[in-house]
Amino acid sequence: MNVHVVDWVIIAVFLLSSIAISIYLSRRAAGSTTDFFLSGRKLPWYIAGTSMVATTFAADTPLAVTELVAQSGISGNWLWWNMLFGGMLTVFFYARLWRRSEILTDAEFVSIRYSGRPARFLRGFRAVYIGLFMNSVVMAWVNLAMVKVLEVMFPGLRFFGIEGIEILGMEFSPHLLAVGGMLLFVALYSAISGLWGVTVTDTVQFVIAMAGSIILAVAALDRVGGIGGLQEQLSEMDWVFEFFPVIEGGEQTPAATGMLKMTVVALVAYLGVQWWASWYPGAEPGGGGYVAQRMMSAKDEKHSLFATLWFQIAHYAIRPWPWIIVALAALVMYPGEADKGATYVMAIRDLMPTGLLGLLLAAFFAAYMSTMSSQTVWGASYIVNDLFRPFLKPGAGERYYVAVSRITTVVLMLFSLIVTTQFSLISDAWRFILACSGGIGLVLLLRWFWWRVNAWSEISAMIAPYAIYPLLVLRYELPYETILLIIVGWSTVVWLTVTWLTKPSDRNTLESFYRRVHPGGAGWRRISASMPDVRGDTGYARLFVNYICGCLMVMFALFGTGKLIFGEYLQMAAYFAIAGVAAFVVVYNLSLTDRDSPVK
């Protein structure tokens, strides 16, 4: 593979465009931390929603999907498709509440919902635990994926003939040093323009990344003889093109490959528990992290809802198929390759001619940069707004905090690079995060709708998994799915017990929160009964119908697109018809929203 001058010119144009956008938008981010971290709460839904999608499209994402397809077929994607059920819950029940809260970060939510010293501790703890440590682990994962991409594309990479350097016992390979250079570039444009620059460049980068993915999928299909040739060659390997997992057990377990086989425990864990019980970046129950940041930066409540809805549609129904097609073609093209994730990058290397190769590399850089810029600006918002401002330097001017925000953005980038040197394989990190956050999800959902949840509820739910996780893993060596179910049950018992044994937030805090957010519902009747002037939300039955129809709309659009690709037109028509009916119900019900909720 040779990267020609034309390819480098395309990459350079892409990088210069990112800087140009940031410089153009830099003044919008300079006024205050609200401008820097929330774009002055002026983002339209299509920018905010596309930025969410771009952030979840990292360099590791198509590689991970390629591995899932190789291991368990198309249905293997249910290991992350199940997150739709939680995401759609955020759309209809939580998006408007986040925008209505008028806070800067989801960690700040603690200060308006809870009271006393436990609330202050929880806010600072979340800022450090999530904004710094957990964020750095996620960024390290993305860095390692980018290193893998560069190792395949540029196997002989050297800097001035040096194969790598060691600093304080940390090994920096030439490929990791190249990633470090990209990190500094991302830090530069993120620090210049804050969320304005991040979201606008995200939108441009998402278009480039999707265009590159589609071009690669078309080229891969052409190499294996089209859809017919792909199906024929995979069928010779006893491959089946099934969209749904099957229950494993006895003689009913199919012998064919290409199907995700789940035990009953695994089915319950993934499809019945994980999506609402565990915290995970980009899929927090009720919204959180950079998703909450985009919702809070939207123009108003409707833009917040539509942004999150567009995120679910693009994330689950539009984006996966180009990756899946390349993953299937790679099984034919590289049947003996052990590292299945790397075959996605090999397809770029082997299929793309001059010019298109530059575009595909730019697409990978775009996917990487959009994620890293969002992670750093989001993480910096935690450190500055929820640690530095309230605890370390209270009362300073807004321009001072903006300057600190820019410095923190760069520092987070460098810290993530250092963390990356400490990992060689973190493919199981997401399971660790999901298991050790098991049980916190229910607290994150109920704290909006039940007055009795307090700061101790969250603290105990965050700590409880660590009391038994080492025992389950080290002594009993249980599988992930069993560990998740045990931890969720244990954590739920712990936080409910702690909630009833500790005092609720003080009355003034609860009334102030209800006046600001007015979520309505039975869980707030004890508080709302003394506040007849505050109109709480109603119409939750209609919201539940929207939730069910939203899930059906996205899932059947996803399956309908798959049937279209594989030429099964009758099933395609049926799937799209169901998706269309579900979409009509959602649109009709949203037109009635103003009757039940003062959505602006």
What is the structure's pLDDT at 260? 73
What is the structure's pLDDT at 112? 96
The letter for the amino acid at 128 is V
Q: Report which of residues 550 and 32 the model is more confident about.
A: 550
Domain ranges of the chain: 5-427
Q: Are 519 and 99 in contact (CB under 8 A)?
A: no
What is the structure's pLDDT at 568? 92
Q: Are 48 and 199 in contact (CB under 8 A)?
A: yes
Mean pLDDT on 157-177: 68
- Per CATH, the number for 5-427 is 1.20.1730.10
Mean pLDDT on 519-543: 93
What is the structure's pLDDT at 600? 43
Mean pLDDT on 22-26: 82
362-421 confidence digits (pLDDT tens): 888 888 888 888 888 888 888 888 988 888 888 888 888 888 888 888 888 888 888 777
Nearest to 230 by CA among 109, 421, 118, 69: 69
Provide the percentage of residues in the chain whose pLDDT is more than 90: 45
Instruction: Write down the mean pLDDT value for the chain.
Output: 87
Those residues with Cβ within 8 angstroms of residue 522's Cβ, 6 or more apart along the chain or in another chain: none
What confidence category does residue 297 fall into, taking pLDDT thresholds of 50, 70 and 90? Answer: very high
Strand 261-262, strand 170-172: pairing = unpaired
Q: Does the structure show a pLDDT above 80 at 251?
A: no
Q: Does the structure show a pLDDT above 80 at 544?
A: yes
Those residues with Cβ within 8 angstroms of residue 389's Cβ, 6 or more apart along the chain or in another chain: 33, 396, 401
Q: Does the structure show a pLDDT above 50 at 250?
A: no
Element (H, E) at 261: strand 261-262
Burial grade of 117 (CB within 10 A; 0-12, 13-18, 19 or more): exposed
What is the structure's pLDDT at 422? 67
What is the structure's pLDDT at 593? 65
**Tally of CA atoms within 13 A in the half-sphere of 358 that contains its CB:** 15
Retrieve residue 333's tokens. 């093209």
**Distance set, CA 54 to CA 88, 270, 381 (Å):** 18, 24, 19
Mean pLDDT on 472-489: 89
What is the structure's pLDDT at 254? 44
Q: Does the structure show a pLDDT above 50 at 510?
A: yes
Q: Does the structure show a pLDDT above 60 at 140?
A: yes
How far is it, in rounded angstroms, from Cα 425 to Cα 274?
23
User: Mind spelling out the 3-state secondary structure of 286-317?
Assistant: CCCHHHHHHHHHECCHHHHHHHHHHHHHHHHH
Q: Report which of residues 461 and 423 the model is more confident about.
A: 461
Residues 487-498: b if buried by 16+ CB within 10 A, e if exposed:
bbebbbebbbeb
Q: Give the SS3 label for residue 82.
A: coil
What confidence category does residue 322 fall into, taking pLDDT thresholds of 50, 70 and 90? Answer: very high
Q: Does the structure show a pLDDT above 70 at 424?
A: no
Those residues with Cβ within 8 angstroms of residue 405's Cβ, 6 or more apart along the chain or in another chain: 33, 36, 37, 191, 194, 380, 381, 384
What is the structure's pLDDT at 563? 94
Query: What's the pTM?
Result: 0.89
User: Mind spelling out the 3-state secondary structure of 421-446?
Assistant: CCCCCCCCHHHHHHHHCCCHHHHHHH
Q: Report which of residues 88 and 140 the model is more confident about.
A: 88
Q: Does the structure show a pLDDT above 90 at 98?
A: yes
Q: Report which of residues 59 and 119 the model is more confident about.
A: 119
What is the structure's pLDDT at 255? 44
